[in-house]
Amino acid sequence: MNNLSHLRSRWRAVWNPDMYHGWGKRDNYFEGWYCKLVDPAERYAFAVIPGISLGIDGRRHSFIQVLDGKRSTATYHDFPVEAFSAAADRFLVRVGDNEFSAEGVRLNLPELRGELAFENPYPWPKMLGAPGIMGWYSFVPFMECYHGVVSVDHRLRGKLEVYGQITD
């Protein structure tokens, strides 16, 4: 991707805060996405966080962190930076065999395997001076961290194998 493409993708990401913002970054950069998954009976409550870390010291990797709210545990799955990819035109992030988008997730982790679709999403409203939850701060280029909300509320459809047990 050339510099002009990087600039286009970064400008598009300002107006779509859920998209990847790290185009053209080589070091001193971190980005992650928080996906909360709760079954209707509330037996399971997970936060699944895919991300990428480009350290100032040259260390680079992608990852998926799984927080289990019922067991109060956290698991960190380390991947090579090359296992990370992101779409330039929408929220679509892949880390290894795992995929995250506004439409759903596909997981292939030891504790979580399967696919879930997000139905009837309620996105964060966009306005001219506030393209996302950060308001006008979305336009500030030197912020240490940016935040975006893909969906405030939605239903989950699909099945997951959770610690070896199938649930839907």
| Cα angle, residue 147 at apex, residues 20 and 42 outer, rounded to 5° | 100
Query: Each residue's pLDDT tens digit in the chain (168 positions)?
Result: 566 665 666 666 666 667 788 888 888 888 888 888 998 899 999 999 999 999 999 899 999 999 999 999 999 999 999 999 999 889 999 999 999 999 999 999 999 999 999 998 877 777 777 777 777 777 777 766 666 777 778 889 999 999 999 987
Domain definitions of the chain by residue range = 3-160
Q: What is the pTM of this model?
A: 0.85
